[in-house]
Amino acid sequence: MCGIVAYIGNKEAYPIIIEGLRRLEYRGYDSAGVSILNGDIHTYKKKGKVKDLEDFVEGKNKSGTLGIGHTRWATHGRPNDKNAHPHNSGNSDLTLVHNGIIENYASLKEALAELGHTFTSDTDTEILVHLIEEYQKRDDLSLEKAVQKALKKAVGAYAIVVFDKKSPNKIVGARKSSPLVLGLGKDEFFLASDATPIIKFTNKVIYLNDEEIVTVNRDGSYEVVTLDDEVQNHEVKEIDLKIEELEKGGYDHFMLKEIHQQPTTIFESMRGRINAEEGWILVGGMQDHMKRMVDADRIIIAACGTSWHAGLIGEYLFEDLARVPVEVEYASELRYRNPVIRERDVVLALSQSGETADTLAALEMARNKGALLYGIVNNVGSSIARFTDCGSYIHAGPEIGVASTKAFTSQLVVLTLMALNLAKEKGTISEGYFRKLLYAMEDIPKKVEQILTLDEQIKYIATEIKDAPNALYLGRGYNFPIALEGALKLKEISYIHAEGYPAAEMKHGPIALIDESMPVIVMATNVSAYEKIVSNIQEVKARKGMVIAIVTEGDTEIKKIADYTIEIPETEEPLSPLLSVIPLQMLSYHIAVLRNCNVDQPRNLAKSVTVE
Ligand code: M6R
């Protein structure tokens, strides 16, 4: 949420910052802004997208080799020009960008106002830059010392970057609960919310930890200290990220590219972890902690949004295959209640970004209770990946479309492999079934490829239902969470109200909504509950609902009663979500495009939710 980028070096800063902001735009697109140092500070900011900022800056003075930029997801203050970042100090010497929320901003603002500070925005951020200014003035402090002092007063979450025109050869950054990465180039430094704006220039990075402040200097030196002034020596990491992975690669949208990447990304998530022929599974992250996992009383899965849906499928998998009790929790709820978590529990955090504030906070709470913390994360080097005791990357590659697609299927792959690995260790699965599932896993990528060829048919169905005001998604067993995920995908990118329900629950309420204007999308691939699903479809048809059924290839019975059927290849039931979610992703995509919605940047959303 909110993207930050900063540059100091010998090159022109503005083009680097603007390109960086374009890459970070998925983190928020309510407004964008830059401050460039050239004797004076030149600050430009505009409501809307980075493109609006670029148009606004056209022809203006933007030359300089030091600058900061920001793309905003609004928390405090409406999305408009005055609330856009950067925010400048009252004396106009300082300029600052911020990602996070300063929770005690109101009391700080009052105190600063009494000292004569006046404010021009409605943001919490502006308070910080005034506080730094105040400490500089009052205590005659250097920029970094004033930042340190100000941040000690701030309650909440922040990644900030700030510079002072009186110290034209340095930039200061700091973080707590919001990400900030330092990029080390040759005679130049970058600071950014993630590595995507940096990778074009250097693959050498340092991931800052909470409550650390970094000062980067034009002479090539830098220093990281804690809020308590302890010097930190960080290992410089080399990141493996290719610039092409950050481009649309010929697709109209990132979401479309990411849907179509799934045969590859699913394969990548399995690579080196499974061999059906030789009959083994090996999930690296589990090996050092296997005893603790085998002996676990419980697995608690904490996640948000789509990752939470993957977690629900994880519950089915672990209970079904490895016979361990599982609870799946919204991280935002788990962190604030008083849950019973013990040392013999394993807390599994699922997160594409690895930066979701609620998931991170739930982990912090669970660590205090002594549970083993396991992260299943996509973003390499992210906060959750670094905070957990152990974990597995899902290796889906950068996911840029705000609606999660390929990360979801890769999360399912890792959860399936983990459940199978644990089942094997515990002896809760027969050798025959184990082998069968291994072979079935290896077949998934080509089956996904086959589903992707149904694009025209799915697009046609999309044209039929694109104007519906509501939609209902139904599924049973392993496919109930897929109903939830299908509904979320439709809501977030096409703004059609949709609900996911366990198919049998429909008659306990939602059936009242069904009439001829209500498309009902039914996951009907389950072998175990097939007859029951057929009955549910009959119940919808009896009330004139329009049924779109996802069925197994060769199904004839449902074809006779449903309005549309989408046939997908057969697989073992625990793996069926990996296939049944694909047509739902495609359907949402096409509906959103037909409704002229911004697929990759849906209104009000941001990819990485780093505030509560
Ligand atoms: O990065 P995370 O997986 O922790 O993100 C969790 C949710 O914010 C995310 O899945 C969100 O629901 C997506 N927009 C869903 O498409």
- DSSP result, 49-110: -HHHHHHHHTTS----SEEEEEEE--SSS-SSTTTSSPEE-TTSSEEEEEEEEETTHHHHHH
Please tell me the total count of domains within the chain: 3
The answer, yes or no, to whether any atom of ligand 1 lies below 6 A from the CB of 378, is no
Confidence grade of residue 148 (pLDDT, cut at 50, 70, 90) = very high
Do 292 and 408 belong to one domain?
yes
User: Residue 83 sits in which domain range?
Assistant: 3-244
Do 84 and 221 belong to one domain?
yes
pLDDT digits (tens, 9 = 90+) for 501-554: 999 898 898 888 898 889 999 999 977 888 889 999 999 999 999 999 999 999
What CA–CA distance (Å, rounded) separates 378 from 383? Answer: 11
The answer, yes or no, to whether any atom of ligand 1 lies below 6 A from the CB of 609, is yes
Active site residues: 2, 607
From the alpha carbon of 384, which atom of ligand 1 is closest? 4
Do 486 and 565 belong to one domain?
yes
What CA–CA distance (Å, rounded) separates 205 from 241? Answer: 12
Segment 94-123 shows an average pLDDT of: 95
Tell me the best of 26, 309, 353, 603 to mutate to test the pocket of ligand 1, counting ligand atoms within 8 Å of each CB and taking the most.
353
Q: What percent of the chain has pLDDT over 90?
A: 91
Rounded distance from Cα 392 to ligand 1 centre (Å): 18
From the alpha carbon of 402, which atom of ligand 1 is closest? 14
Q: Residue 421 maps to which CATH number? A: 3.40.50.10490
Instruction: Pick the residue whose CA is nearest to atom 11 on ligand 1.
Output: 305
Rounded distance from Cα 354 to ligand 1 centre (Å): 10
Confidence grade of residue 606 (pLDDT, cut at 50, 70, 90) = confident
From the alpha carbon of 608, which atom of ligand 1 is closest? 1
From the alpha carbon of 306, which atom of ligand 1 is closest? 10
Tell me the best of 384, 609, 610, 611 to mutate to test the pocket of ligand 1, counting ligand atoms within 8 Å of each CB and taking the most.
609
Do 445 and 512 belong to one domain?
no
Q: Which amino acid is at 394?
A: I
Rounded distance from Cα 181 to ligand 1 centre (Å): 21
Q: What is the 3-state secondary structure (H, E, C) of 345-363?
A: EEEEEEECCCCCHHHHHHH
In a domain, 607, yes or no: no
pLDDT digits (tens, 9 = 90+) for 361-409: 999 999 999 999 999 999 998 999 999 999 999 999 999 999 999 999 9
Rounded distance from Cα 304 to ligand 1 centre (Å): 6
Rounded distance from Cα 409 to ligand 1 centre (Å): 13
In a domain, 299, yes or no: yes
In a domain, 546, yes or no: yes
Q: What share of the chain is helix, strand, coil (3-state, %, to 5)?
A: 40, 25, 35
Bridge partners (DSSP) listed for residue 232: 224
Instruction: Flag whether pLDDT at 99 surpasses 80.
Output: yes
Give the chain's mean pLDDT.
Answer: 95
pLDDT digits (tens, 9 = 90+) for 18-68: 999 999 998 888 999 999 999 999 999 999 999 999 999 999 999 999 999
Kindly report the pTM of this predicted structure: 0.88
Do 316 and 444 belong to one domain?
yes
What CA–CA distance (Å, rounded) separates 281 from 431? Answer: 12
Do 371 and 394 belong to one domain?
yes
- For the chain, what is the total number of helices (H) and then of strands (E)? 20, 27
